[in-house]
Amino acid sequence: MHVINLRLNTAMKASTTPALLVFLLTSSFLSLAQKQGAYNAIYSGIPWFDDSGNVVSAHGACIIQDKGRFYLFGEKHSDTNNAFAGFTCYSSADLYNWKFEHIALPVQASGKLGPNRVGERPKVMKCPGTGEYVMYMHADTLGYVDQYVGYATAKNITGPYTFRGPLLFDGKPVRKWDMGSFQDKDGAGYILIHGGEIYKLSDDYKSIAESVNKSMTSGFEAPAIFRKDSIYYFLGSDLTSWERNDNYYFTATSLKGPWTKRSFIAPEGTLTWNSQTTFVLPVVGSKETTYMLMADRWSFPKQASAATYVWQMITVSGTSISVPLYWEAWQVSTTTGVATRVKVGERAIENADKKYIAYSGKWQNDTLSVRSANEKDASFTVKFKGTQIGFSGLARPDGGYARVTLQNSKGKTILSSVIDMYCKYPVLTLKFLSPVLPKGNYIFTVSVLGERGNWSDKRKNIYGSKGNVVSLDKVTINE
Ligand code: GLA
């Protein structure tokens, strides 16, 4: 969305001469040959670009594996409001590079997922009984006062999915908001509801057969369950709208409970490494299974461009799970299942290096040796030769939005993106990393947008940033 999309459309192809076509393909940084292997790892907290150079918009997501490929479903968002904009489907062989497949479920002409409604947390499972793919979601009004769980079905995994309306239990809709899904080893499907409710689906996955577990606590939003051996782990968040909190979990040896409340998923105070859980994907390999926490780092109003994903490896030991460290970049082998932390960037340029970094506008030396600015349009620019560039900065309570652009040697903008430098607590972290580019000369610019992420919930509580600050710790370059 924020990359100048260099994909050639059919009309252009038809009217383009072969010589011009070759020129266009070689001058575009996301030509087909370059798209492959653009990312070598899972990078949390930065925008990801898909095979067409558009930002990956799949929030409140889930992943299912089908015939050796991973399919990611999530909420598509806009940068202006929270209206349902469709559920997206992407696919990947390696969990690093995502191909945009379709809008799996578009905005409906009218009804519960029609214009100016809310659609959240799509979860897809394949029904073993019918072979159909069934998607579940939270449908609501923009003010969150008409919630219920709906479902949609498709013959093919990528869709299009046909919206079927409410999922019924005893003939009545489930009027609840945050939901998740879980498929057990025996193929039975379950719907999870905030507060800890669990419902078992009927054999055709199109209605609820049984209430398995009643509400056990208040809050406990964004519910997700995974199973290792005979233990079920039930993860959820506190109720703080899109603001992050310390997510926690319960364990049990049966979905019926009794569930035992355990502790936080990540070290207390990290606010689940600044994210909210949505799903756990077991990456099953020949050597081990890595349980991957999938979580959202929301950013209202710029949920399309500036909200990112936090995917981390969960350490599991008996009834205890944790994400003790935040891995900015890591690899997981889809063959062996083994996870490995990797380093970001080959060469680091410190913010004081005036030979490489040109500042414009008012910048100051700040806490933790970062340089920061909060004046609109203040910027820093780096001219470099290489294949990839990124930067780290201080995300903080007064952090705002930054505009990131990349120009080629001819001065043409080939990438433009908005990132969010807000965090409720100050933390030095990777904020941006470009896709891999053809080796060449580029100009990288980051500027203060003069806007910030903030919002209020339906109880009129105010959340988000108190300033527009953008800061730079280091620029990293790959040659
Ligand atoms: C919580 C929920 C999200 C969304 C927001 C809206 O974060 O988990 O799915 O509904 O609230 O405030």
> Over the stretch 149-182, which tens digit does the pLDDT of each residue have?
999 999 999 999 999 999 999 999 999 999 999 9
Q: Report pLDDT for 346.
A: 86
SS3 helix, strand, coil % of the chain, rounded to 5?
5, 50, 45
**Closest ligand 1 atom, CA of 121?**
9
| Residue 241 Cα to ligand 1 middle (Å) | 5
Q: Are residues 284 and 336 in the same domain?
A: yes
Q: Are residues 336 and 446 in the same domain?
A: no
Q: Report pLDDT for 130.
A: 98
Nearest Cα to 431, choosing from 440, 444, 413? 444
The residue ranges of DSSP E strands in 142-258, in sequence order, are 148-154, 162-166, 168-169, 172-173, 179-183, 189-193, 197-201, 207-213, 221-228, 231-237, 248-252
Q: Are residues 397 and 334 in the same domain?
A: no
Q: Are residues 98 and 202 in the same domain?
A: yes
Q: Is 178 in the pocket of ligand 1 (CB under 6 A)?
A: yes
Q: Are residues 150 and 244 in the same domain?
A: yes
Q: Does the pLDDT value for residue 465 go beyond 60?
A: yes
Look up residue 245 and give its two tokens. Answer: 């909190």
Q: Is 424 in the pocket of ligand 1 (CB under 6 A)?
A: no
Distance CA 329, CA 40 (A): 9
Q: Are residues 293 and 388 in the same domain?
A: no
Residue at 270 is within a domain: yes
Q: Is 220 in the pocket of ligand 1 (CB under 6 A)?
A: no
Q: Is 473 in the pocket of ligand 1 (CB under 6 A)?
A: no
Q: Is 221 in the pocket of ligand 1 (CB under 6 A)?
A: yes
| Residue 150 Cα to ligand 1 middle (Å) | 17
Look up residue 11 and give its two tokens. Answer: 């009309």
Q: pLDDT digit string (tens) for 43-73?
A: 999 999 999 999 999 999 999 999 999 999 9
Q: Is 457 in the pocket of ligand 1 (CB under 6 A)?
A: yes
Q: Are residues 313 and 365 in the same domain?
A: no
Residue at 3 is within a domain: no
Structurally, how many domains does the chain consist of? 2
Q: Does the pLDDT value for residue 145 go beyond 90?
A: yes
Domain boundary residue, one of 341, 357, 382: 341
Q: Does the pLDDT value for residue 462 go beyond 60?
A: yes
Q: Which long-range contacts does 91-94 make (Cβ < 8 Å, 24+ apart)?
A: 91/158, 93/68, 93/69, 93/334, 94/334
| Residue 422 Cα to ligand 1 middle (Å) | 18
CATH of the domain at 25: 2.115.10.20
Which parts of 322-479 fold into alpha helices (H)? none
**Closest ligand 1 atom, CA of 221?**
8
Q: pLDDT digit string (tens) for 437-450?
A: 999 999 999 999 99
Residue at 254 is within a domain: yes
For atom 5 of ligand 1, which residue has the closest CA?
Answer: 241
**Closest ligand 1 atom, CA of 194?**
8
Helix (H) / strand (E) element for 274: namely helix 271-274
Residue at 405 is within a domain: yes
Specify whether the CB–CB gap between 475 and 389 falls below 8 A: yes
Q: Report pLDDT for 30.
A: 38
Q: Does the pLDDT value for residue 9 go beyond 90?
A: no
Q: Does the pLDDT value for residue 8 go beyond 70?
A: no
CATH of the domain at 442: 2.60.120.260
Q: Is 241 in the pocket of ligand 1 (CB under 6 A)?
A: yes
DSSP string spanning 1-35?
Answer: --S---PPPHHHHHHS-HHHHHHHHHHSTT-HHHH
Mean pLDDT (whole number) for 242-263:
98
Domain around 18? 10-341
Q: Are residues 143 and 129 in the same domain?
A: yes
Q: Is 222 in the pocket of ligand 1 (CB under 6 A)?
A: yes
Q: Report pLDDT for 24.
A: 32
| Residue 242 Cα to ligand 1 middle (Å) | 6
Q: Does the pLDDT value for residue 264 go beyond 70?
A: yes
Q: pLDDT digit string (tens) for 87-120?
A: 999 999 999 999 999 999 999 999 999 999 999 9
- Give the confidence band of 459 by pLDDT, cuts at 50, 70, 90: confident
**Closest ligand 1 atom, CA of 222?**
8
Q: Are residues 219 and 319 in the same domain?
A: yes
Residue at 189 is within a domain: yes
Residue at 223 is within a domain: yes
Domain boundary residue, one of 311, 341, 371: 341
Distance CA 413, CA 110 (A): 39
Q: Are residues 356 and 404 in the same domain?
A: yes
| Residue 297 Cα to ligand 1 middle (Å) | 11
| Strands 172-173 vs 179-183: parallel, antiparallel or unpaired | unpaired
With the most atoms of ligand 1 within 8 angstroms of its CB, the residue from 84, 242, 456 to mutate is 242
Q: Report pLDDT for 4.
A: 27
Residue at 2 is within a domain: no
Higher pLDDT, 380 or 16: 380
Q: pLDDT digit string (tens) for 21-32?
A: 333 332 223 333
With the most atoms of ligand 1 within 8 angstroms of its CB, the residue from 179, 221, 457 to mutate is 221
Q: Are residues 324 and 424 in the same domain?
A: no
Q: Does the pLDDT value for residue 10 go beyond 80?
A: no
State pTM to two decimals.
0.92
Q: Say whether the peptide bond before residue 267 is cis (omega within 30 degrees of 0).
A: no
Distance CA 61, CA 277 (A): 9
Q: Is 445 in the pocket of ligand 1 (CB under 6 A)?
A: no
Domain boundary residue, one of 280, 310, 341: 341
Residue at 162 is within a domain: yes
Q: Are residues 273 and 158 in the same domain?
A: yes
Q: Does the pLDDT value for residue 15 go beyond 50?
A: no
